[in-house]
Amino acid sequence: MDTNPILYFLNTQASTSIAGFVIIVVSIIAIYFQRKTTKQKAALDFLDKLATEQHLIDSAKFLKECHIDPETSVELIATSKKQEHRSSQLKLNIILNYFESLSIGVRIGIYDKKTVCLSRNQQIIRTFEQAQPYIQYIRKDLSNDKIFENLEWLANKLKIGV
């Protein structure tokens, strides 16, 4: 037995404490990276729908066509109660609701923002910009400034590169 009580303590108690501390630190780091990987996988799974689900593809094309076509009145589509415009509203709402859901997931931390940015940065920004007149008319018509606010938030974040 060591005659020096300090050396005895360091050889027994300190080594156990240090080992315990290292185990805790390694566990915290492993949990952090596992959560990050899970968020990235969830984001990629959600974003994959945009490339594979036909109704989302059609909706995105329809929004682009509405934006390009000078004959299309986005205000009329947004505020009309006629059945012919109702189908156009539904087409536009499909892609907007998809990106709104994605934006909410990013905002509350379900989806990884960096993964979303790397995968669909320009498409999110472009979708919001193309749909902005439509969104403004809906907000005005319904007197609700909160409609598609998360999509607007994400588009603005991606524009400034955050």
Q: Give 96-146 pLDDT, tens digit per residue.
A: 999 999 999 999 999 999 999 999 999 999 999 999 999 999 999 889 999
Asked if pLDDT for residue 27 goes beyond 90, the answer is yes
Between the alpha carbon of residue 104 and those of residues 12, 64, 111, 120, the distances in Å are 51, 23, 9, 15
- Indicate whether 13 pLDDT > 70: no
Q: Is residue 98 part of a domain?
A: yes
Residue whose token pair is 């439509």: 134
Average pLDDT over residues 20-33: 91
The reply to whether 23 falls in a domain is no
What's the DSSP call for residue 10? Answer: I
Q: Has residue 18 been placed in a domain?
A: no
The tens digit of pLDDT for each residue in 45-104 reads 999 999 999 999 999 999 999 888 888 877 778 877 787 788 889 999 999 999 999 999
For residue 88, being part of any structural domain is answered with yes
Domain count, the chain: 1
DSSP string, 68-102: H-TT--HHHHHH--SHHHHHHHHHHHHHHHHHHHH
For residues 124 and 113, what is the distance between their CA atoms, to the nearest angstrom?
12
Tell whether 67 is covered by a domain.
yes
User: Is residue 47 assigned to a domain?
Assistant: yes
Whether residue 1 is contained in a domain is answered as: no
What CA–CA distance (Å, rounded) separates 95 from 38?
Answer: 25
Whole-structure pTM value? 0.81
Task: Give the DSSP letter of residue 3.
Answer: S
Quote the pLDDT of residue 9. 61
Q: What is the mean pLDDT of residues 8-33?
A: 80
The dihedral sign for the CA sequence 118, 145, 131, 43: positive
Confidence of residue 7 (pLDDT cuts 50, 70, 90): low
Domain that holds residue 83: 40-160
Q: Cβ distance 128 to 155 under 8 Å?
A: yes
Mind giving me the DSSP string for 105-133?
A: HHHHTSS-HHHHHHHHHHHHHHHHHHHHH
User: Is 143 a member of any domain?
Assistant: yes
143: left (phi over 0), alpha (psi -120 to 50) or beta: left
